[in-house]
Structure 1
Amino acid sequence: MARLEQQPRQRMSPKDRLASIKEAAQQQALKEGLQTLTYRSLAARLGVSHSLIVHYISDLAELRAQTYSKLILAELSSIQVSVAPAPTAIGKLTELIGLLSVTGREETASLWLDGWTIGRLDALMAAEVRAAMLAWQDFIEEILNTGVDAGDFDVDAVSGCAWEIIALFDGLNSHMLVAFGAPEEYRFRIAAPIESRLHLQPGTLTGTTNFRGDERP
């Protein structure tokens, strides 16, 4: 029987190799956290040598920061696409609250916390976190300005209000990660203070008026 000749392994181009490393870094960050990104962990994930990763990634801090920014801004872009079809600012805000207050976002929620923690001592990460937060600030301000112009929202300081709304979502990220409170109530608990801040009737952003938010979580 003739022996089959083994085909030589095709080498990846430098561009493709770097792309594969960055993709692996994103997958690992979502599943295990940004802190776990090391040369050895990436080498093990890709089944390559430690030295190969070092050759392509000279600065792990830069890779962590880039990975954070890529994933966080990808979620923002996805949310913007989902919110865009809503014809009114109230509709956009309702959709936004619904998207951010459901379980299943734990991986991305954990990235925010990883970024803040690492950014405490890492200036590069801190800069990327601030840039992501500013992108969210601009997004929320745009929705609020649309609502103010249409007469839907009564708010005197749009920028400050957007900051407060983002802080609510940041807090929800933390609660979601440890299942604090009842997940089915997250949407109502987030909507209630926003409705109050914008001088909207209770239930406007959830489509209901029968939720009681006075119970202990």
Structure 2
Amino acid sequence: MSRTPGKKAERKAPSQRAAEIASAARRLALEGGLSAVTLRAVAARAGVAPALVAHYEPNMDALVAETFATVVHAEIDAVSALIATEATARSRLAHLLSTLLDGSRTDVTVVWVDAWTLGRRNDALAARVRTEMDAWQAVIREIIECGVRLGEFETDDAAAVSWQILGMIDGLNAQALVRWGAATDRSLLLAHAVEGMLRLSRGSLPVG
């Protein structure tokens, strides 16, 4: 009995194939979290055999880690560009808080939550998580330090305040995944806490 040969993947340049695999992994992560980035799922999304994915990405832990970094870098770049147009440090901070808690980035929040969980057993991912947390903290710290220099904020430890703000953002967004509270409520809770940290009067950071 004759057999119909299976359809072979189109031959492409290694750089193009690697980019397609990375793109497939990123799309899977944004749709279903990092736990969705498996060998077979990436192969199916890229339209190739699992063996080909394994050829280009022999270490799936590394692919998951790189996928996480790609997603977070894109978010940092997008948010940084969005708030860069604000005229003052105070308005930049208010815009940052509103943007990160407006509920429009649930897909990225799921990626973060998965990263914290999977990073317990994936050392490459854990290292990436620490790096990207540092990157986000640096964004917030730069705004606060600018505000202190210009007399808009008061704090003796911009770095510590930045970590506290980042922790609250992460916690409130994680709570939003189980539909706790409205986006405006979460934004106000955070804004009032930050106003206290920076010795601002209530309502100085308009959000929502």
TM-score, with length taken from structure 1? 0.88
Question: C-alpha displacement at 1:10, in angstroms?
Answer: 5.3
Match in the other structure for 2:108: 108
Match in the other structure for 2:22: 22
Match in the other structure for 1:76: 76
Which amino acid letter does the alignment assign opposite residue 52 of structure 1? L
Could you say which structure has the greater relative contact order, defined with CA pairs below 8 angstroms and 6 or more residues apart?
Answer: 2
The 1:147/1:40 distance shift into structure 2, 3 A limit, reads: same
Gaps of 5+ in 1: 1-8, 209-217
Match in the other structure for 1:163: 163
Q: Partners of 1:41 and 1:12 in 2: how far apart?
A: 20
Note the 1:99-138 alignment, pairs <5 A: 99-138=99-138
TM-score, with length taken from structure 2? 0.92
Gaps of 5+ in 2: 1-8
Match in the other structure for 2:12: 12
Match in the other structure for 2:197: 197
Counterpart contact for 1:187–1:206, Cα < 8 Å: no
Counterpart contact for 1:136–1:166, Cα < 8 Å: yes
Which amino acid letter does the alignment assign opposite residue 175 of structure 2? H
Residues 154-199 of structure 1 show CA distances to partners (whole Å, capped at 9, x for unaligned) of 1111111111000110111201211111223222111010001111
Residues 91-149 of structure 1 show CA distances to partners (whole Å, capped at 9, x for unaligned) of 10011011011112110011111111111122111110000011111111110111101
The 1:92/1:157 distance shift into structure 2, 3 A limit, reads: same
Which amino acid letter does the alignment assign opposite residue 93 of structure 2? L
Question: C-alpha displacement at 1:12, in angstroms?
Answer: 1.6
Counterpart contact for 1:137–1:162, Cα < 8 Å: yes
Q: Partners of 1:145 and 1:48 in 2: how far apart?
A: 49
Match in the other structure for 2:6: none
Structure 1 residue runs of 4 or more that deviate by more than 3 Å after TM superposition: none
Q: How many residues align?
A: 201
Q: Partners of 1:184 and 1:83 in 2: how far apart?
A: 19
Structure possessing the higher radius of gyration over alpha carbons: 1
Q: Partners of 2:140 and 2:183 in 1: how far apart?
A: 23
Q: Partners of 1:207 and 1:11 in 2: how far apart?
A: 51
Deviates more, 1:121-130 or 1:62-71: 121-130
Q: Partners of 1:42 and 1:159 in 2: how far apart?
A: 39
Counterpart contact for 1:65–1:124, Cα < 8 Å: yes
